[in-house]
């Protein structure tokens, strides 16, 4: 594995117009407002243009998408044609992403850079109807952006053919391995031609990722712009030791003290995120929830509303930790410390993007010590917990009770009115206050009474005497017994 020579830190950022790019691509880049390249772009784009395999390691928010999409579009311009025949537009570039949000974000960037060309692109992911995706695939497309699961669905349905793929991009490969996509990746790569250019981009590199690169990349060049797993220097990271009950109050107070307009609040569970979003909504903040139980349409609508500024807080699980490119996002809050230390790097990468400054606040309880130690080990940075004084806020019920008491003080006293006097306790019957007394011991029990009442005619006291029954139908009366 080769490494590129280090570029001097004092060197001025390279410009896009210094690259061997077609005028149509340069025009699209200029329309996007970009003139100079980020470090990962200035290092990776020339290597990709040469046709070499690349392993790109860069912290999130540094422009990895443009680093692979612009040079691939340049290389595919030789296949550009105005034909309406689907056969003239086979899939030539495949971009695999771990989440729907990241796939949609990559697709938006690819369309933006290819808008002045005749290259077609489409994105497919789960959670939505397959019919529109099938129609777009059968119409012909050069660039296919997909999540692994939905792509396999289309392959099995014979909606797309991948035998002419020349370029493959594995974006956020570490995340795909984390969520169990390795078998799907292996199946998809088995459908592709072996003679291809493969690019692997990720914010973090693990031993598993390096093994994956050795299996599917040919003599790759390693491109790094920062130490792996390093957080952006433009992000102010604060860790506060708080209790679970104070977390929401801390976030509200920081938003108020720093005049923060928008922020993302990350939680670890879908249920916790949903409840937290409702709680912030009751506090008067415009809030949207984003988690895996939401439909894809709901998730996209929440993201669009947040990007348009119609939502103050986006409360989300780690589905929003990668691929979300929100310009000038001022702050990120970790309501829960992430279970995976690498997710911390991705979460705080949503702010401080493209050189802008940002704030990342993590709320730590006593039970989070091990998770914080994992973050320290990953980022190689000592973490100090700062105390946070929550401003005393009078509970609503106390305010209401105090208001009611003041109203009662203003009212005239009516204690002399007979109707409002406290009624006297009801009189009690003295019989129920006496202790229990058993009956007289001299009285014989009931069974002894029965024996005494029985007739004594030489018969046993337990044999009942015959009763005389009135004669019926002329029966004769029995003769009396002789004495």
280, 287 contact by CB (below 8 A): yes
For residue 348, which of 313, 324, 377 has the smallest C-alpha distance?
Answer: 324
Measured distance CA(287)–CA(292) in Å, rounded? 17
Assigned architecture for domain 2-224: 3-Layer(aba) Sandwich (3.40)
Residue 331: how many other CB atoms lie within 10 Å: 25
Q: Residues 67, 76, 190, CA angle at the centre, nearest 5°? A: 85
Tell me the percentage of the chain whose pLDDT exceeds 70: 73
Each residue's pLDDT tens digit, 111-139: 999 999 999 999 999 888 999 999 999 99
- pTM (2 d.p.): 0.61
Same fold, 2-224 and 235-387: yes
Residue 473 has pLDDT above 70, yes or no: no
pLDDT score of 1:
52
92, 166 contact by CB (below 8 A): yes
Q: How confident is the model at residue 292 (pLDDT cuts 50, 70, 90)?
A: confident
pLDDT score of 39:
86
pLDDT score of 6:
40
Sign of the four-CA dihedral 8, 226, 320, 146: positive
Assigned architecture for domain 235-387: 3-Layer(aba) Sandwich (3.40)
pLDDT score of 420:
44
pLDDT score of 419:
44
Residue 268 has pLDDT above 80, yes or no: yes
Each residue's pLDDT tens digit, 431-442: 666 666 655 555
Domain-wise residue ranges, the chain: 2-224, 235-387
């Amino acid at each position: 594995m080769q490494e590129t020579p280090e570029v001097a830190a004092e060197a001025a950022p390279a410009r896009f117009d210094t690259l061997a790019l077609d005028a149509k691509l340069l025009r699209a880049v200029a329309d996007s407002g970009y003139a100079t390249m980020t470090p990962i772009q200035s290092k990776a784009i020339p290597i990709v243009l040469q046709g070499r395999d690349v392993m790109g390691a860069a912290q999130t928010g540094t422009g990895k998408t443009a680093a692979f999409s612009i040079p691939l579009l340049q290389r595919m311009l030789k296949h550009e044609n105005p034909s309406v025949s689907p056969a003239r537009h086979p899939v030539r570039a495949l971009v695999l992403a771990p989440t729907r949000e990241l796939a949609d974000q990559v697709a938006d960037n690819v369309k933006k850079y290819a808008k002045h060309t005749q290259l077609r692109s489409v994105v497919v992911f789960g959670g939505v109807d397959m019919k529109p995706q099938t129609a777009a695939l059968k119409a012909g497309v050069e660039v296919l952006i997909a999540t692994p699961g939905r792509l396999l669905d289309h392959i099995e349905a014979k909606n797309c053919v991948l035998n002419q793929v020349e370029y493959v991009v594995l974006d956020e490969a570490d995340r795909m391995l984390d969520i169990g996509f390795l078998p799907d990746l292996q199946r998809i790569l088995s459908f592709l031609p072996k003679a291809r250019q493969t690019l692997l981009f990720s914010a973090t590199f693990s031993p598993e990722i390096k093994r994956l690169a050795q299996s599917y990349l040919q003599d790759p060049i390693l491109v790094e712009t920062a130490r792996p797993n390093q957080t952006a220097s433009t992000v102010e990271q604060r860790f506060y030791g708080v209790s679970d009950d104070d977390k929401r109050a801390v976030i509200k107070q920081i938003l108020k003290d720093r005049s923060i307009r928008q922020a993302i609040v990350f939680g670890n569970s879908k249920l916790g995120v949903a409840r937290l979003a409702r709680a912030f909504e009751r506090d008067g903040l415009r809030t949207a929830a984003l988690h895996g139980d939401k439909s894809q349409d709901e998730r996209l609508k929440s993201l669009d509303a947040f990007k348009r500024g119609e939502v103050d807080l986006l409360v989300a699980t780690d589905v929003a930790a990668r691929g979300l490119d929100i310009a000038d996002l001022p702050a990120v809050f970790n309501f829960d410390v992430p279970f995976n230390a690498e997710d911390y790097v991705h979460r705080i990468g949503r702010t401080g993007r493209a050189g802008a400054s940002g704030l990342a606040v993590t709320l730590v309880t006593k039970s989070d010590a091990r998770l914080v130690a994992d973050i320290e080990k990953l980022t190689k940075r000592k973490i100090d917990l700062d105390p946070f004084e929550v401003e005393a806020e009078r509970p609503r019920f106390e305010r209401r009770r105090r208001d009611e008491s003041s109203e009662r003080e203003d009212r005239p006293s009516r204690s002399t009115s007979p109707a409002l006097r406290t009624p006297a306790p009801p009189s009690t019957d003295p019989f129920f206050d006496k202790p229990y007394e058993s009956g007289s011991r001299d009285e014989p029990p009931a069974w002894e009474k029965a024996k005494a009442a029985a007739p004594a005619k030489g018969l046993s006291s337990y044999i009942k005497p015959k009763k005389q029954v009135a004669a019926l139908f002329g029966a004769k009366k029995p003769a009396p017994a002789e004495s």
